[in-house]
């Protein structure tokens, strides 16, 4: 007698795929989706995690954000910090990657040297920068030797933010350079040969061959750098504490202050929701702009 074949649930490709994906989906739900959903719920409440509990207040926290001058100042600081950090963190590593791609002699050594800041703790780097830029620090000592009046870097409403920006660029530079270098090595040499045969000079090859070939890499670098910048907290906490006069206070540090110094969790959750929405919109626009072929 021929054997009868009984169809099993495991023979269904869709069901099997869900079985294999379920551990990752469970972890994703517990550690990402649920916290975001709870954050969104918390933004509509007031109170704390005490016996008194929380109460539903609707859109009151978001209305407070709109009417609070400090929030708008912090939002402006964050936009300024993000733009001033992201652009150099892409342009400088791209230039270094192009130079290293053409030089085989010390590529490995230089790549390691540039990448080193990426693996240093941001808190340790922040302490180092605070020492460098303090009033009697090495930077002002060098300026004094050059005959330039020392600058009160961390006490100035003008110069304190650039210190944080320089630290963030320095921290992100090596990572982006390695990413761009990998993208450059993935571009077929035949494209450059064809462009050279067509009479294209070095700048034309870079503009019409290198940049289009780096488009997927550029998307990744822009998104990761923007996320790294928008979530900046350690720089402010270690170096300036948001001062002077709130000029270096960034949105993540502002959320931390409202939640864990003022214990205003609902208001802090509303600010965090705004930050999440801003980040998602930014990433979406980047993918739409750079992702269209």
Reduced to 3 states (helix: H, G, I; strand: E, B; else coil), residue 150 is coil
* pLDDT at residue 46 in the model: 86
CATH number at residue 269: 1.10.3720.10
Residue 220 in any domain: the answer is yes
Residue 242 has pLDDT above 80, yes or no: yes
- Find the domain containing 233 and state its range: 69-289
* pLDDT at residue 261 in the model: 87
Mean pLDDT value across residues 142-151: 90
pTM over 0.75: yes
Contact (Cβ atoms closer than 8 angstroms) between residue 132 and residue 139: yes
Residue 11 binned pLDDT confidence (cut-offs 50, 70, 90): low
Mean pLDDT value across residues 188-208: 83
Angle at 270 between CA 223 and CA 171, to 5 degrees: 35
Number of domains observed in the structure of the chain: 1
Residue 62 in any domain: the answer is no
Residue 104 binned pLDDT confidence (cut-offs 50, 70, 90): low
Residue 101 has pLDDT above 70, yes or no: yes
Residue 95 in any domain: the answer is yes
Residue 144 in any domain: the answer is yes
Residue 106 binned pLDDT confidence (cut-offs 50, 70, 90): low
Residue 209 in any domain: the answer is yes
DSSP 56: E
Residue 261 in any domain: the answer is yes
Residue 44 in any domain: the answer is no
Residue 78 has pLDDT above 80, yes or no: yes
Which positions ≥6 away from 71 have C-beta within 8 Å?
65, 254, 271
Residue 31 has pLDDT above 70, yes or no: yes
Residue 167 in any domain: the answer is yes
* pLDDT at residue 73 in the model: 94
> In terms of pLDDT, which residue wins out, 85 or 188?
85
Reduced to 3 states (helix: H, G, I; strand: E, B; else coil), residue 293 is coil
Q: What is the mean pLDDT of the chain?
A: 86
> In terms of pLDDT, which residue wins out, 6 or 190?
190
* pLDDT at residue 291 in the model: 60
Where is average pLDDT lowest: 26-40, 114-128, 129-143? 114-128
pLDDT tens digits, one per residue of 32-49: 899 999 999 999 988 776
Residue 8 has pLDDT above 60, yes or no: no
**Phi and psi at residue 54, to the nearest 5°:** -115, 155
C-alpha dist (Å) from residue 71 to 81, 102, 138: 15, 47, 34
Residue 5 has pLDDT above 70, yes or no: no
* Spatial separation of the C-alpha atoms in residues 290 and 293, rounded to whole Å: 8
Mean pLDDT value across residues 65-84: 93
Reduced to 3 states (helix: H, G, I; strand: E, B; else coil), residue 198 is coil
* pLDDT at residue 278 in the model: 87
Residue 52 has pLDDT above 80, yes or no: no
pLDDT tens digits, one per residue of 154-191: 998 999 999 999 999 999 988 999 899 888 888 888 88
* pLDDT at residue 80 in the model: 94
């Amino acid at each position: 007698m021929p054997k009868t074949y009984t169809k099993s649930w495991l023979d269904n490709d869709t069901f099997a795929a869900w079985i294999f994906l379920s551990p990752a989906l469970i972890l994703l739900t517990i550690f990402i989706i649920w916290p975001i959903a709870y954050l969104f719920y918390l933004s509509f409440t007031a109170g704390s995690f005490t016996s008194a509990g929380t109460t539903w207040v609707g859109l009151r926290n978001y209305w407070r954000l709109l009417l609070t001058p400090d929030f708008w100042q912090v939002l402006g600081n964050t936009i300024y910090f993000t733009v001033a950090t992201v652009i150099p963190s892409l342009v400088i590593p791209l230039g270094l990657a192009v130079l290293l791609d053409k030089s085989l002699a010390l590529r490995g050594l230089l790549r390691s040297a540039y990448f080193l800041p990426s693996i240093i703790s941001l808190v340790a780097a922040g302490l180092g920068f605070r020492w460098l830029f303090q009033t009697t620090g090495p930077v002002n000592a060098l300026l004094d030797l050059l005959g330039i009046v020392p600058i009160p870097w961390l006490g100035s409403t003008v110069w304190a933010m650039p210190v944080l920006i320089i630290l963030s660029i320095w921290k992100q530079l090596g990572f982006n350079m390695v990413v761009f270098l990998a993208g450059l090595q993935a571009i077929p040499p035949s494209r450059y040969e064809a462009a050279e045969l067509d009479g294209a000079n070095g700048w034309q090859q870079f503009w019409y061959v290198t940049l289009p070939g780096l488009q997927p890499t550029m998307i990744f670098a822009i998104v990761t750098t923007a996320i790294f910048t928008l979530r900046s907290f350690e720089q402010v906490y270690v170096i300036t504490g948001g001062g002077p006069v709130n000029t270096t206070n960034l949105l993540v540090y502002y959320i931390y202050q409202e939640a864990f110094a003022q214990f205003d969790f609902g208001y802090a959750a509303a600010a965090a929701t705004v930050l999440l929405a801003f980040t998602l919109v930014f990433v979406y626009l980047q993918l739409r702009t750079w992702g269209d072929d």
